[in-house]
A and B are shown apart, each in its own frame.
Chain A
């Protein structure tokens, strides 16, 4: 009897000790990344930090630094051009965190997918290519705003202290990632929003343009044009732009190349509508913060041809700074479900971008504008005037009227009209070396050198011993 009791107690105790092994009802990293579906859901996560309102904040931050647009409230110091104030230092710190969180999620896929147990080599190549496309996308934002940054790849993603790489090293990784993406990404997206090889070629063209490799930029853009997969959506009125080009009901369009996708779901919608709209217009049913505004008396606005439908997307609204303020109605949704619940996609790269990259690069690769470059520009120009994009028109710009310098200005102005609220203008002015001159002409303000780069955030400097707070911080901070 005693023996039995003793044995029984041993059994009870050992089964108890087993109860100390944790068995959560959730998945763990070690048992994941094995099937194509698992790798796909891990790849999907790369988009979340960007879509989660942050990329809209990023675009608005850049937009407020442009020569033509003003920032309101806490965004106003961006348009003073004397470096960032505390509120904006905090804001761009959030953007740094966003890009690096997305990079971590990409690195997880790049590192773990190749060792998956039941996934084909083709699927591994496809998802790794998608992750590398997104990693390059994030580094391209980082390097243009902070210059060199710590370069986190699948090989050092758990190393805490990491030195700052040079801008050249960052660009080398971007080009390598996009070159692999260009080869291994599919011809057509499985669903709108996933990058294709055409998206990779477009971004590569943009990167080459940034690096001054104009022939390469021209050729990559030309490959996308020659694929005949994309075309501009024709428009007749400004509401066509609001509904058929950037509308909340669209699933995709013929000009979509790489968009961040949004839907009318709580916290799954486009935050730019809240940032840009004014409550009085009732074009966004959750009001709006009217962060970005134009001045109706500015040379930029006055010199903008009134036949351009895009000009009509700025409404005169007196919100307290006088009668001359204009607020954007580019993105509208009256059936959004929450403040971050509007259905409009974010047109990060569209076909007009390819055409304008081609126009600029083809001119700068040679000695001036070419016929095909001018035609590419005119397609964007015609569509904005309600004309058929592919048909010559009386409003066309003529090749004979432009040299290399004036054509560059023409393209840059067209880009500023076409990509409003996209945050591209400030980066265009920086990359062409025109930023100080353009801002001085438009605003009378001198851009301080420290304003050209954003500060590395405290959340990095405090904890990364690989950085020297004196030497590695960007100038002026």
Chain B
């Protein structure tokens, strides 16, 4: 819909004279025929999901003697949802199509622990826990569909009346996580604190023989402010020095990722459907736990009876057996596989301050934090580069980043532009000097990792008024603007473009223009053209509230009544040219592809006003 809204030629009206939707695809001989009038999506399509979520926990606690606790607890998490999609008969070329899908997710958790808790001589505090846990995750799904309806009235509620019923689908997945754990805490006189723990985790997702991982950890802390020599210091109210070391495991892969599963499908012989069975295009791998070793030292510092609290942490995280998707040559038939590819390192510094600035009738609390993280690829098995972040738009079909030893994670990778040739086509640098532009000319074109990120919270209150605001910022990172490709460089379909393309494209009188010559054949590549500064500061939230003085009025049956107005994302300061610098279209925060903006849905600015009543 967004693509339709952006690309629709502004020279056309949305409706024909008779009130029907204008068919954009036949308006001009050059227009892309899959361009759909965006009003179709708004008015003639209906998607909704309803979910019932239930959480249930119960535990049995048994104390055979004072210092020992046996706890057996169980939990059930359940989510049932149903999604209905209906496209009306008024949608372009539609005879009505409906689909219904349901999902049932159930997770059972059983935790069984025995703990020991005792303080000896009022100085030696010892606590210990041992136990095992079991958790499973079961997903089942069912879907049905149909096309060709006599009327829009039944919507998705009479699939049986479809003239062509779709093929029903159903699925099942299950994964299990088992853990044995033991932990001992020891504190001497609330001054010296030590924790040692070990867990042995088993995940069904890993290959036979690699299902189990051991994850020990240890931590030491010294509360300096509890020492005798600090007792009389009225300036420093709290001082604690911490150090820790530990291993953690990640099982961020899908169930059955190591099995050679077959998938069913349909094909046609004669005039009838026949079954097909075969593997998907993902080649299963032999996989083991991804393990992160983290070392951390930190200090907590409070002054003026903790009116100002400072924290500082320095950490080094080494992740080995990193799980990552690896693309395969397409002649293999399989396009990707998942592998334990190598080792990466993250290290950084985190600083925080929490302060009660004003404490009188006018109260002001401020909380701010800043963190600096650096990462690099330490080792890749076989030393082989791993390419990632596939972009597949009409004019460009290539990767955007590379994993290479010694380089940061998510390193952008592509060609360097070198102006235009005498016909206005983009030229690229022949970096290896072999006389032709090949993939050997690709180089480092940007880094998606920020130099630092920060946040700022402020809460002010005066009498019955509260004002809170939250700012967030990212500095020094690059974004790869893949969203711009279709809308600024692909001139083949005569789609609507930003004004700038018209005003600043190559011509004999403007040979150094921002955009190349307008032509239906472009020679676009993944290049530094799409790399932009992604730094931004955003006012994520601001809220002004008034609390009614209920106590003064003697109202007892209502606890609080608050009138408020708030705004989200009202202000963003950035140089980024597209909609939203806060994007990550490809994968989550743990993905090795970061900072790619590929037709992401922009965040909304919202303004809310309301009344909150608490009983």
Contacts and interface: CB of A to CB of B under 8 A. Distances in A.
B305 interface: no
A392 to B, nearest CB: 36
A243 to B, nearest CB: 15
Given A29-B262, A76-B520, A87-B395, A24 B271 contact: no
A463 interface: yes
A30 B284 CA distance: 13
B76 to A, nearest CB: 17
A74 interface: yes
Contact of A192 (B267, B270, B520): B270
B331 A162 contact: yes
Contacts of A76: 520
A67 to B, nearest CB: 20
A312 interface: no
A97 B330 contact: yes
Given A74-B394, A85-B523, A90-B395, A29 B25 contact: no
A56 to B, nearest CB: 14
Interface stretch (B27-35, B347-355, B582-590): B27-35
B202 A263 contact: no
A27 B492 CA distance: 45
Contacts of A72: 29-30
B398 A194 contact: no
Given A25-B172, A263-B273, A149 B331 contact: yes
B164 interface: yes
Nearest to B31: A73
Contact of B332 (A73, A160, A278, A343): A160
B332 A191 contact: no
Interface stretch (B436-444, B464-472, B594-602): B436-444
A323 to B, nearest CB: 12
Interface in A95-144: 96-97, 100-101, 103-105, 107-108
Contacts of A261: 268-271
Contacts of B23: 279, 287
Nearest to B398: A458
A152 B331 contact: yes
Interface string B255-272: 110111111111111111
Contacts of B166: 266
Interface stretch (B232-240, B275-283, B496-504, B547-555): B275-283
A462 B268 contact: no
Nearest to A108: B278
A192 B269 contact: yes
Interface in A1-54: 13, 16-17, 19-30, 32, 38, 41-42, 44-45, 47-48, 51
B93 A48 contact: no
B330 A459 contact: yes
A338 interface: yes
A17 B273 CA distance: 42
**Which of the four size classes fits the interface of chain B?**
35 or more
A26 B140 CA distance: 13
A266 B164 contact: yes
A338 B95 CA distance: 9
A363 to B, nearest CB: 36
B438 A463 contact: no
A28 B332 contact: no
Interface residues of A, number: 95
Contact of A96 (B32, B265, B330): B330
A339 interface: yes
B516 to A, nearest CB: 12
Contact of B268 (A22, A28, A90, A193): A193
Given A19-B204, A319-B29, A461 B268 contact: no
Nearest to B525: A86
Nearest to A27: B262
Nearest to B26: A279
Contact of A193 (B132, B269, B393, B436): B269
Q: In the complex, which of the residues B176, B208, B261, B330 has the most CB atoms of chain A within 10 Å of its own CB atom? A: B330
Contacts of A48: 265, 267, 276
Nearest to A250: B271
B331 A265 contact: no
A154 interface: no
B147 A266 contact: yes
Contacts of A289: 25, 33-34
Contact of A21 (B31, B92, B204, B394): B204
Contacts of A285: 93
A147 to B, nearest CB: 14
B105 interface: no
A321 interface: yes
A157 B29 contact: no
A261 B273 CA distance: 10
B333 to A, nearest CB: 2
A93 B33 CA distance: 21
Contacts of B396: 86, 90
B399 A157 contact: no
Interface of A: 13, 16-17, 19-30, 32, 38, 41-42, 44-45, 47-48, 51, 72-74, 76-77, 80, 85-87, 89-90, 93, 96-97, 100-101, 103-105, 107-108, 149-150, 152, 157-158, 160-162, 191-194, 251-252, 261-266, 268, 278-280, 285-291, 319-321, 337-339, 341, 343, 457-464, 469-470, 473
- Sort A-B residue pairs by CB-CB distance and give the 6 closest, nearest first: A104-B333, A320-B29, A85-B521, A464-B329, A289-B33, A29-B260
Given A41-B276, A104-B334, 12 more contacts: A17-B202, A19-B178, A26-B256, A29-B260, A38-B277, A48-B265, A85-B395, A86-B522, A86-B523, A266-B145, A266-B147, A279-B25
